[in-house]
Chains A and B, each alone.
Chain A
């Protein structure tokens, strides 16, 4: 096959999906497929069974609570977030989703897929950490929530473990957010990206593309020097690859952190 031989399941409920994922060690959840299918095509990963979540309406949609909290179903696509009136309650969400890859990818790719694959160059892991998001995870034993900053464990590894499924991403109310990135070309992979939020006290600055997980930095203030100093003090050890030497990524982290915080300040005022 184009892919290695693989079983395919299309559960009718989240309960069934979780059961399937728990039953089989080699099971993988299939969301928009924008990462998983490509990885399978390259034969870099070969799950025994893919559990297709695309039929599960309960995982889709965005709800805006009276306090401004957003409940985003894991299977909500980037395009749906970009176009959602509710999601505008936290404008940065739509702005960042509109920057992800190209139209085809945005129509298929989902918020849940983006955070669960946790490719270090993805846009949304640093963003949900900066926004102080909460991740709801369902397993056969029930449901639990994990703060976004504890969700990301390693490249392609998150707190949603084997037999578990991320169902909802909860984003609290707020608006003083910023995002800055340097992609390769207009819609290519990010070399470094940084999300920042000034809501809820001291700035939350989260750097992507520099480690296996998004790196949260807490500068004392939103002043440029404080931000730059805090990122420097974080002692980042970014990867050295064909797109960027480690030193360059370290430098970009500082520059883009300052820019993300400036954007957040602009939005706050």
Chain B
């Protein structure tokens, strides 16, 4: 992969808080890499326990069916089978999981195993535990389940139709949640416009990330204390416990989550609570540790898809000069068989309501429905990616209809750097950025000035060249108060993260995080921050890998999700380290007989500024307090073990107006690409690709680039081949890697990386969350296809056959009304 890094001539936002050079901002060696490249990482599947039983889930072969009976007798007769669990038992032993929605979604009953009915292929209906994984699988084939098939529902719009099969009778409707968002004055904008562009239908296809490591856990039950320990890869244990504890009818302290290394998560490992509850029940019932490792096909069919969304009747009022005044749309979101984390996706998009644009009048009529497909969960780019695809499609479709240049029309409509911080029509605050500048860098990287020449060159080879841009925002650090815009009764708001930093007896600096890293390099970046504050090197800082509830270094919203570690995680690390530093200075001042202000921390010592010879190495400080403390003043209240909770500065949103600041930071991604289409086959190749990111202060630029590469691969897969397609009976047609083509190294174009750093004025380090990206690659490829083919692109995923169909199709579905 070739890379070009463009450094801007000057930082666009200069707000230096630190003047001395430090480790923050440097590509220090990653602490995690040694164990990972040597095969010494510890993943949940590496954890073994004496006498453990392996669980295999018996899963539904039907998209929609009544369960008439389940008979486990023959499975139980097999030697080495320890026991089973069925939905009937689950319904007695647990309560349904807490639903976030107002009615009708609030009435949905979701259990660890199917109770009475199955609603998607792959839904677990029973579990078999045996002495080996293979035996459990063999025995599960002996479980007899009698089904009465029902008509399946595999289309979001069809779910709303009169007479559609109802998935959840107790809800009485397939609607989970619906609501109108209306900001500014759309009618006035329409009246003011010179043109109104109308788009009938756009569809964001269903896909998901496919982590190399599937989901799973090893669960131990302690009969004496009634406590479960889960060695697992759950990426959001705080919220996992909020779901699990009430269902299991226990206090939250009875659930201990332990993670170390995780082989990718992408949001797919947020909604593991149903399987984990089944494992907890089995550990208690069978009195032995229970191990569950998900099969690849199960990960595809029944773990977590991304939200599928249809946009109907889009209207865009446009002025003669290309200024767009906003848009209105009716959105139907298909969340699969159970809402789980939903309906939060019905509001998360609103973090980026106008995309990168200065649009002030926006009306979104949003409805979320259930269908007989895999449940969704917050997949990388969660809900914003779908919405930003809409905003980018709007820009390029309007540009095409009105003959506007896609670069100029963006620059005309982008929020401007001098308007930052910028308040969107729904009260979100874009903290900093310079979208036009990022676009210029992207264009330079792909030699945009030679576009017409390259078009001719491609044409001479029988190819159609296409150019496309994807402009997105990765909104990070949620204000959980946005949940109250969906359900005013919910008691969530703000956000938090915890870290503890201590100085131990021999001078060891030990950092404990509340986050659950999955490859983002938290150990490394935390050590960089600590080292700069304490005056030591990252090598001197021991960061515990993973997460453990017993460390007591987490809070209710802890986890690794939603692009926030650089803000919340490192904010907590910074706060805890500053507390520790103050205690270290205080202790040193007592020992050295001076004031705290006379002490500085540098080179692994606490020393007097005026006389650096008068110094205590960290080891001395750690030893004095922890092991050699006679004679210290009795009122000295320090522990050298500082715990800090970072809380971002959020207010409660206004529920009436659905208005308020929903996220703290907005990282920018401006991607541009060139593709070449073979008009005879519809096959195409991305021949040039630039990714320009602005995530404020970069703690570790190489880690940032790695995240950009990953997000780009995710997006290019989604744009070209990755679709979770279903047949009319609810069978997943792409249930494994034979049929679901994820981009391989050979499929990836060379990525030219560029960046600027617009520091966030709102965060402890000037950094912004950036790991998810905003699906910019999808939007860029769709735009490039539209440019190459001269046809309106209305689907997010365009495999070769769709491209060929587009080439032959009459352009339909877009009209322009002049006013």
A residues near B (Cβ < 8 Å) are 1-2, 4-5, 42, 102, 182, 184-189, 191, 241-245, 248, 251-252, 255-256
Q: Which residues of A lie under 8 Å from residue B747 when comparing CB positions?
A: 185-186
7 sample A-B contacts, Cβ–Cβ < 8 Å, listed by A number: A1-B135, A2-B133, A185-B744, A188-B741, A243-B799, A248-B805, A252-B681
The 8 closest A-B pairs by CB, nearest first: A186-B746, A242-B733, A1-B134, A248-B801, A185-B747, A255-B680, A184-B741, A188-B741
Closest residue to A191 on the B side, CB-wise? B800
Over the window 220-258 of chain B, the binary record of Cβ atoms lying under 8 Å from chain A Cβ atoms (1 yes, 0 no) is 000000000000000000000000000000000000000
A187 to B433, CA, bound (A): 39
Residue B701 CB within 8 A of the other chain:
no
Contacts of B744 in A (CB 8 A): 102, 185-187
A189 to B739 CA separation, bound complex (whole angstroms)? 8
Flag if B683 contacts A187 (CB, 8 Å). Answer: no
Q: Given the interface contacts A182-B683, A252-B681, A255-B680, does A244 sit within 8 Å of B801 by beta carbon?
A: yes
A4 is contacted by which of B138, B741, B746 (Cβ under 8 Å)?
B138
Contacts of B791 in A (CB 8 A): none
Whether the Cβ atoms of B741 and A185 lie closer than 8 Å is yes
What's the Cα separation between A5 and B137 when bound, in Å? 12
CA distance A189 to B738 in the complex (A): 8
**Chain A nearest CB, measured from B70 CB (Å):** 21
Closest residue on chain A to residue B742 by CB atoms: A185
Is the C-beta of B804 less than 8 angstroms from some C-beta in chain A?
yes
Q: Is the CB of A182 within 8 A of B800?
A: yes
Q: Give A185 to B737 CA distance when docked, in angstroms.
A: 12
In the bound complex, do residue A248 and residue B804 qualify as a contact, i.e. CB atoms below 8 Å apart? yes
* Complex interface: chain B residues within 8 A of A243 (CB): 739, 799, 801
Min C-beta distance of A35 to chain B, whole Å = 11
What are the interface flags for B634-647 relative to A under an 8 Å C-beta threshold, 1 for contact and 0 otherwise?
A: 00000000000000
With a CB–CB cut-off of 8 A, which chain B residues contact A189? Answer: 738-739, 741
A175 to B545, CA, bound (A): 60
Q: In the assembled complex, which residues on chain B have CB atoms less than 8 Å from the CB atom of A42?
A: 297, 736
Give per-residue flags for B150-179: 1 if the beta carbon is below 8 A from chain A beta carbons, else 0.
000000000000000000000000000000
Contact in complex: A1, B138 (CB < 8 Å): yes
Provide the residues of chain B in CB contact with A248, threshold 8 Å. Answer: 682, 801, 804-805
Interface of chain A, main secondary structure = loop
Residues on A with beta carbons closer than 8 Å to the beta carbon of B743: 185
B721 at the interface (CB under 8 A from A): yes
What residue of chain B has the Cβ atom nearest to residue A241's Cβ? Answer: B733
The CA of A186 and the CA of B725, in the complex, are separated in Å by 21
Tell me, in angstroms, the Cα distance from A261 to B683 when the chains sit together: 19
Once the chains bind, are B801 and A245 in contact (CB under 8 Å)? Answer: yes
Asked if A187 contacts B733 (CB within 8 A), the reply is no
The reply to whether A187 and B746 form a contact with Cβ atoms under 8 Å apart is yes
* Chain B nearest Cβ from A254, distance in angstroms: 9
| Bitwise interface map of B from 689 to 732 toward A, beta carbon under 8 Å scored 1, else 0 | 00000000000000000000000000000001101010000000
In the assembled complex, the Cα of A191 lies from the Cα of B682 at a distance in Å of 12
B138 engages A184 (CB within 8 Å): no
> How long is the Cα–Cα vector from A187 to B801 in the complex, in angstroms?
17
A16 CA to B302 CA, complexed, in Å? 45
A151 CB to nearest B CB, Å: 24
Q: Name the B residues within 8 Å of A251 (CB-CB).
A: 804
Q: How far is the CB of A198 from chain B (nearest CB, A)?
A: 21
The range of chain B's interface size is: 20 to 34
Smallest CB separation, B154 vs chain A (Å):
13
Q: B725 touches which one: A2, A182, A185, A242 (CB < 8 A)?
A: A242
B549 contacts A by Cβ under 8 Å:
no
B734 at the interface (CB under 8 A from A): yes
Q: Which residues from A are CB-within-8-Å of B682?
A: 248
Instruction: Give chain B's interface residues, CB within 8 Å of chain A.
Output: 133-135, 137-138, 297, 680-683, 720-721, 723, 725, 733-734, 736, 738-739, 741, 743-744, 746-747, 799-801, 804-805
Please indicate the chain A residues that have their CB under 8 angstroms from the CB of B738 in the complex.
189
Q: How far apart sit A251 and B681, CA to CA, in the bound complex (Å)?
A: 8
Name the residue among B133, B721, B799 with the largest chain A CB count within 10 angstroms: B799
Instruction: Tell me the bound Cα distance from A186 to B135 in angstroms.
Output: 38
Within 8 Å CB of B746, what residues of A? 185-187
- Would you call A182 and B681 a contact (CB within 8 A)? yes
Contacts of A191 in B (CB 8 A): 800-801
| Further pairs besides A102-B744, A186-B746, A242-B734: 8, Cβ < 8 Å | A2-B137, A187-B744, A187-B746, A188-B741, A189-B741, A242-B733, A243-B739, A251-B804
CA separation between A135 and B134, bound complex, in Å? 39
Kindly state the separation between the CA atoms of A236 and B804 in the bound complex, as whole angstroms.
19
Inter-chain contacts of A188 with B (CB < 8 A) = 721, 741
Interfacial chain A residues near B805, Cβ < 8 Å: 245, 248
Measured between beta carbons, the chain B residues less than 8 angstroms from A256 are 681
Task: Name B725's closest neighbour in chain A (CB-CB).
Answer: A242
CB-defined contacts of B137 to chain A, threshold 8 Å: 1-2
- Measured CA separation A78–B804 after assembly (Å): 32
Nearest-CB residue, chain B, relative to A188: B741
Provide the bound-state CA to CA distance between A187 and B733, in Å. 20
Please tell me if the beta carbons of B739 and A242 are within 8 angstroms of each other in the complex: yes
Cβ-defined contact, B721 with A2, below 8 A? no
Cα–Cα distance between A245 and B805 once the two chains are bound (Å): 10
Q: Give B598 Cβ to nearest chain A Cβ, in Å.
A: 64
Q: Which residues of B contact A1 (CB under 8 A)?
A: 134-135, 137-138
In the complex where A185-B744, A186-B744 touch, is A255 in contact with B681 (Cβ < 8 A)?
yes
A1–B135 CA distance with the chains assembled, in angstroms: 6
B contact residues around A182 at 8 Å (CB): 681, 683, 800
What chain B residues lie within 8 Å of A102 (beta carbons)?
Answer: 744
The one of B680, B721, B734 that contacts A185, using a Cβ cutoff of 8 Å:
B721
Q: How far is the CB of A242 from chain B (nearest CB, A)?
A: 4
Residues of A within 8 A of B133 (CB): 2
A139 to chain B, nearest CB (A): 32
Question: Given the complex, which residues of B lie within 8 Å of A4, measured CB to CB?
Answer: 138
The chain A residue sitting closest to B746, CB to CB, is A186
Q: How far is the CA of A4 from the CA of B137 in the complex (A)?
A: 9
Q: Which residue of A lies closest to B680 (CB)?
A: A255
Which B residue sits closest to A189, measured CB to CB? Answer: B738
Q: A121's closest neighbor in chain B, by CB?
A: B738
Cβ distance A220 to chain B, nearest Cβ, rounded Å: 23
User: Which residue of chain B has the shortest Cβ distance to A255 in the bound complex?
Assistant: B680
Query: Which chain B positions have C-beta within 8 A of A184?
Result: 721, 741, 799-800
Q: Shortest beta-carbon distance, B721 to chain A, in Å?
A: 6
A-chain residues with CB within 8 Å of residue B720 when the two chains form the complex: 185
Chain A residues closer than 8 Å to B135, beta-carbon distance: 1
Q: How far is the CB of A188 from chain B (nearest CB, A)?
A: 5
- CB-nearest residue of chain A relative to B743? A185
Q: How far is the CB of A69 from chain B (nearest CB, A)?
A: 35
Whether the Cβ atoms of A2 and B681 lie closer than 8 Å is no
Most chain A C-beta atoms within 10 Å of own C-beta, residue among B683, B720, B800, B801:
B801
Cα distance, A154 to B253, chains bound together (Å) = 60
Bound form: Cα–Cα A184–B738 in Å:
10
When distances are taken between beta carbons in the complex, the residues of chain B under 8 Å from A185 are 720-721, 741, 743-744, 746-747
Chain B minimum-CB-distance residue to A2: B134
B397 to A: closest C-beta gap in Å: 25
Please indicate the chain A residues that have their CB under 8 angstroms from the CB of B734 in the complex. Answer: 242
Bound-state CA distance A5–B132 (Å) is 14
Closest to A4 in B: B138
- Complex CA distance for A255 and B807, rounded to whole angstroms: 15
CA distance A42 to B736 in the complex (A): 10
A182 to B801: give the CA distance in the assembly, Å.
Answer: 11
A164–B89 alpha-carbon span in the complex (Å): 52
Q: Bound complex: CA of A117 vs CA of B206, how far in Å?
A: 32
Provide the bound-state CA to CA distance between A94 and B747, in Å: 22
**Separation of A244 and B133 alpha carbons in the complex (Å):** 37
Q: Which of A102, A185, A252 has the most CB of B within 10 A?
A: A185
Q: How far is the CA of A42 from the CA of B683 in the complex (A)?
A: 31
Closest Cβ of chain B to A36, distance in Å, is 14
**Once bound together, how far apart are the Cα atoms of A1 and B132, in whole Å?**
8
Q: Which residues of A contact B736 (CB under 8 A)?
A: 42
Task: Output the least CB separation between B464 and chain A (Å).
Answer: 15
